Structure 1
């Protein structure tokens, strides 16, 4: 192995840069320095942090091109402005160590534990699982909802256009978040009625989405867990980016609820990145360390579903990131 290869691997393994970017966002440095250049002493005084240590952080951010240093002090560059809270790309919400996403990614420090045991590293680091944290800390729940809404934003048109949603009279969006996807489906398919199930306060936000889209007469919301009984008798039960957040035991419980609620001729629709097809290897490790799960492959979905007498009918590539697996209820 040559020196160049060693240098590349060293850079890939380095933790200084990813943590420096996260700390910069957590401290609000890109926003603070976007319009007015400031000295490190001024910033340190405003933030109440160590001046000497902050100077080291600012120096690395200059090396990265996130900040520029001039005679008046440090200023956010055009490149660095992508880290500002209002950049519209979701990065600040994802990287801030006080948000659900930023906090969750620190579970990667427990990757060895996860690989050794197959269990999530999140609970080992924080003393309880990811979902318990969200239940106890409303600010984390709100930041997670924002992250999920943004992550899906560019995918929604492709998901709606890539499948015949209009063939169903009723769709239950199980764990449907703030309702962005279901609202788009209903807007594109005037003959479809929707019912979203999610926990409060996410359910309340979804109701607001449907009102804003003037879908109140065709969209219902129930504040509940998808581990509880679901609205019964619908033609389709949609699980969008749900199962990859759970290990097999909990995934079985979710599918149980869908099957017991579905119309006999109903469908269970799973929209997710599929391992080996649309899933990314880095996301596999994120799902492992945070949730003790993974981006399941098609055969793994078949195996998971067969325990519920579900038969895979079709597999559709919706976008470069997600597929749709359509399951029908088979004979028991």
Structure 2
């Protein structure tokens, strides 16, 4: 059998996995909240569309979860934003509003007992993430990382994801004049491995909490990069080591709420020299908070299982500035991912 040297594009496979909870969220919106009927009635009664604050108040929704939900519905083509107001589209009015002759609400309601639907309704109301992948028990994914078995499992999953994404990221940022990179929350070291493969003179260390640090050492040794990518154990929220001129956060910030993200960026600002580089590699919502749809769908999964979401580039620009970073640009990498680049202010 001839060995293929050209790698096919797995973007649709990433999208299928990452968007697995999005349809269940729409079921909840239709069958439990009846949101489109409420929005239609509110607009007629007030002669003005509702805003997200009114939606949260009427339906007792957590603001983060509501933001993710509205962004997903806009990306799906069921809502449009008009300033700070939200309006059902013609498709939503025709098929998801009470009184329409083509009302599909009962069709969606027939699936309302799906376990993920129950989880998502609880997250919408409380803001607290559900158990990872709907597993039994109340522990969220970050607490379960203390288990060596779970740490090995989740790190292997992120390692598999990064095998295709890592080289694309390395290519996208190869021109940054960095000499030493700290891969914060770098998991298996898959991105550090890609960076040193593309830039042999680069020094990379993965910064990870125990027991993930041991998993990273094992995987780096297995792929033959243990002598080129180091592993430093520590808590990224407690502070970051110096001696680096660039920090990489790949698929890290989306796991955390705004307060934690700001703390991490502040820790990077404290550890990096003036002119040091900051790279946030992830899926990012656009400035208009209207998509892209695959990113909005992935944000639903993150809302379900973590305190985070897919951050928009505009939100990151604002948090960069607060922490003392100048925004540089946003570069595409692969499979709906982008690298948002900042630089430590010299002033």
TM-score calculated relative to the size of structure 1: 0.64
Aligned to 1:237: 247
Which one of 146, 154, 170 corresponds to residue 144 of structure 1? 154
Contact 1:166/1:192, CA 8 A, preserved across alignment: no
CA RMSD, aligned part only? 3.0
1:12-91 → structure 2 map (5 Å cutoff): 13=111
1:254 matched to 2:264: yes
Query: In structure 1, what is the Cα distance between the partners aligned to 2:126 and 2:105?
Result: 31
SS in 1 for 2:323: coil
Aligned to 1:328: 343
Task: Report which of the two structures shows the higher radius of gyration computed on alpha carbons.
Answer: 1
1:233-312 → structure 2 map (5 Å cutoff): 233-276=243-286, 280-312=295-327
1:87-106 → structure 2 map (5 Å cutoff): none
Aligned to 2:211: 201
Alpha-carbon offset, residue 238 of structure 1: 0.2
SS in 1 for 2:328: strand
Which one of 114, 126, 129 corresponds to residue 120 of structure 1? 129
Does 1 or 2 have the higher relative contact order (CA < 8 Å, sep 6+)?
2
Aligned to 2:53: none
Which one of 143, 159, 177 corresponds to residue 132 of structure 1? 143
Gaps (5+ residues) in structure 1?
20-105
Distance 1:173 1:115, change over 3 A: same
**How many residues end up aligned between the 2 structures?**
242
SS in 1 for 2:242: coil
Deviations 1:244-294 (A, max 9, x none): 000011111211221111122211110000013655222111111211321
Contact 1:114/1:292, CA 8 A, preserved across alignment: no
Gaps (5+ residues) in structure 2?
1-94
Query: In structure 2, what is the Cα distance between the partners aligned to 1:320 and 1:244?
Result: 16
Contact 2:192/2:204, CA 8 A, preserved across alignment: yes
Deviations 1:130-175 (A, max 9, x none): 211222x332222111211122222222222222156211111001
Query: In structure 1, what is the Cα distance between the partners aligned to 2:158 and 2:341?
Result: 22
Query: In structure 2, what is the Cα distance between the partners aligned to 1:166 and 1:220?
Result: 20
Query: In structure 1, what is the Cα distance between the partners aligned to 2:222 and 2:185?
Result: 20
Query: In structure 1, what is the Cα distance between the partners aligned to 2:142 and 2:271?
Result: 24
1:158 matched to 2:168: yes
Deviations 1:21-57 (A, max 9, x none): xxxxxxxxxxxxxxxxxxxxxxxxxxxxxxxxxxxxx
Distance 1:163 1:13, change over 3 A: farther
275-284 vs 292-301, greater mean Cα deviation: 275-284
SS in 1 for 2:239: coil
TM-score calculated relative to the size of structure 2: 0.62
Distance 1:7 1:176, change over 3 A: same
SS in 2 for 1:307: helix
Which one of 99, 118, 121 corresponds to residue 109 of structure 1? 118
Aligned to 1:181: 191
Alpha-carbon offset, residue 202 of structure 1: 2.2
SS in 2 for 1:289: helix
Aligned to 1:319: 334
